[in-house]
Chains A and B, each alone.
Chain A
Amino acid sequence: MSSENAIDKSIKPASLRGIIARHKRADLLFALLGLMAMLVALAVLLALLGQLALDGIGRLSWQFLTSFPSRFPEQAGILSAWIGTLLVMFLTALTAVPLGLGAAIYLEEYAPRNWMTDLIEINIANLAGVPSIVYGLMALGLFVYEFHLGQSFLTAGLTLAMLILPMVIIATREAIRAVPPQIREAAYALGATKWQTVKDHVVPYSMGGILTGLILALSRAVGETAPLLTVGALSFIAFLPHPPWQPERPFVSFEWIFDPFTVMPIQMFNWVSRPQEAFHLNAAAAGIVLLLMTLAMNALAIVIRARFRKRIHW
């Protein structure tokens, strides 16, 4: 009782005003600090893009896109690298899409509540946190030496597919979970089987989210370097893989999947690690192309997300 009185007396209106002013100043400073941190992060992003553009834009030309790597920096290009990236991505998508979709559909629509499901779920969460280079070690021991797939497009594609599988599963599950249960109930009420419900209703309605997650995962795979270095990518490939088509039936050839591979980030890494300045400029130019690929995929993901969000109103 007496102490409360003491406090009351000790705070005079004038000093109260002082306290408020001090707190308001601190508040303003704190807001400025947050703003500064944000601006610094954005400035670094701009510096990174700027530096890359300044260094690399001079080397970007049609010749750069259509030449093989070379000992002479001014003649070197990224033909084998960007074709390699496209082919590896094709194999990655071919593996990761059915596996990821299947796993996500199973976990959301079919899985019973038991220890097996728990095991799979915990496992996927943990896989998402495994460093990418560890996937490379697994691929080296398993795909290259145990299954004898060699240091090939197939190994590279499988490695990246394993790497992005958790991302694909997590994104697909979220998309499927967003479909309201009434849709499923309506399908069952009309006599649809579980698979018909999933195939004709749940998956089509969650396509926006699935595609967004898939493209983001693939855009991450495009930039991955470490696991492919571990597997044994070559950085000097002055030839193209076997063509994926042939004159006779069945017209499609899969000989290329056993060819040695290289990809954009590996080409860039190789050029950055050289001492000569001229190769650094090549690295910057390759970096611009790589970044444009990644950004284009991210932009596509944003567009898809926006379109599907607009169309569906539950």
Chain B
Amino acid sequence: MDADVVKAQVFKKAAASRRAALLPPRVKEKGIELLLFLAALTSVAITVGIVGVLAYESFAFFRHVSFIEFMTDRQWTPLFAEPHYGMLSLVSGTLVTTTVALLVAIPSGSLIAIYLSEYAPHQVREAVKPALELLSAVPTVVYGYFALLFVTPALQKLWPDLPGFNMLSAGLVIGIMIVPYVSSVSEDAMRAVPVYLREGAYALGATKMQTALRVVVPSALSGIAAAYVLGVSRAIGETMVVAIAAGMQPTLTWNPLEPAATMTAYIVQVSLGDVPHGSIGYQTIFATGLTLLLMTLVFNIAGHVLRKRYRQVY
């Protein structure tokens, strides 16, 4: 009985290997390589898809709206009876929230990175780093909730006439959200600075702070700058916090205490409504998306160049 089972298995295996032998191994190997190559190529296809869709719809948009108006008009009211297409209103909202976010994230992120890399005992660093990374794991819609229902009411105690939707609280919360990006990338860069540079500074009688600020930070500058650039790009592209907490009215204003719409919030706003496919309103979100993509692309490339070109080799 047992022998029969074994025999059957042996036959099965032999049949399988005969079947496999029909395909010469070289062909099979080449086939697999081709499949893997196609998988790698999908990433290129995605890029082509993104650029293609955005460019195609934006092209249709710019047949209706002149590029000059897009760049210089001071109003953005595409869905009104009398439409205006001034991208500047959305860009100003985006820049204000991004600036507020960076004012929070860059100083605190850098200080945290210096503290963790130069001062903190080993156990503190091991405990705090994952906790900070938790900050970046929280879903952005939860941050939106926090900005609207915790930060704004708290700020209203300081400024009673602060509107319920404002760019300040959205920016502050985005800032908190990107602290871990800034701090952990800069910390990695600072930890990569070899110990003998620090020892040299200590040997000359420098304090920890002097060593950190005049030796470690300058040596790790390219990595730190790359972290900042990553933070900027995240802040520009962040969507849910601004859509929930900053209001969705496109206004050309540079005052963070006012409500305004960012580029991303505008896209969300239009997506929530029923804008017919192919209409000019539909095309506006692609023109907005293209502007957004170009802005982040500039920062991403800058970050890439910084990391690659100015990488210190010790």
Residues of A within 8 A of B (CB): 23-24, 26-27, 30-31, 33-35, 37-38, 40-42, 44-45, 47-48, 51-52, 55, 98-103, 105-107, 110-111, 119-120, 123-127, 129-138, 140-142, 145, 162, 165-166, 169, 193-195, 219-220, 222-226, 229-232, 265, 268-269, 272-273, 280, 283-284, 287, 290-291, 294-295, 298, 302
Contact = CB atoms under 8 A, between A and B. Distances in A.
Given A34-B111, A34-B114, A41-B112, A127 B33 contact: no
A37 B108 contact: yes
B210 interface: yes
B11 interface: no
Given A268-B141, A298-B137, A133 B289 contact: yes
A141 B135 contact: no
Contacts of B240: 225-226, 265, 269
Given A51-B146, A125-B304, A222-B139, A229 B268 contact: yes
Given A34-B114, A131-B264, A166-B43, A219 B33 contact: no
A230 B134 CA distance: 26
Nearest to A30: B209
28 contacts: A27-B210, A30-B209, A38-B128, A41-B108, A42-B131, A45-B134, A99-B42, A102-B38, A105-B36, A106-B33, A120-B44, A129-B230, A131-B264, A131-B293, A133-B292, A138-B54, A141-B53, A166-B43, A193-B29, A226-B140, A226-B239, A229-B272, A230-B271, A232-B271, A273-B244, A280-B149, A295-B137, A302-B130
B28 A195 contact: yes
Interface string B132-163: 10110111111111101110000000000000
A33 B114 CA distance: 10
A110 B33 contact: yes
A230 B268 contact: yes
Nearest to A273: B244
B49 interface: yes
B276 to A, nearest CB: 11
B207 interface: yes
B119 interface: yes
Interface of B: 25, 28-29, 32-33, 35-44, 46-47, 49-50, 53-54, 56-57, 107-108, 111-112, 114-116, 119, 128, 130-132, 134-135, 137-146, 148-150, 176, 179, 207-210, 212, 230, 233, 236-240, 243-244, 264, 267-268, 271-272, 277, 285-286, 289, 292-293, 296-297, 299-301, 303-304
B39 A102 contact: yes
Contact of B36 (A106, A141, A298): A106
Contact of A38 (B112, B130, B145): B112
Contacts of A119: 44
B32 A48 contact: no
Contact of B289 (A134, A194, A268, A269): A134
B144 A131 contact: no
Contacts of B111: 33-34, 37-38
B142 A287 contact: yes
Nearest to A33: B111
B117 to A, nearest CB: 10
Nearest to B31: A195
Given A45-B131, A103-B42, A127-B47, A34 B268 contact: no
A280 B38 CA distance: 46
Nearest to A34: B115
A130 B296 contact: yes
Given A226-B243, A294-B139, 13 more contacts: A30-B209, A38-B116, A40-B108, A41-B112, A127-B46, A131-B238, A137-B54, A137-B286, A138-B50, A225-B141, A226-B240, A229-B271, A272-B141
Contacts of B237: 130-134
A41 B176 contact: yes
A262 B174 CA distance: 25
B267 A230 contact: yes
Nearest to A110: B33
B292 to A, nearest CB: 6
Contacts of A195: 28-29, 32-33
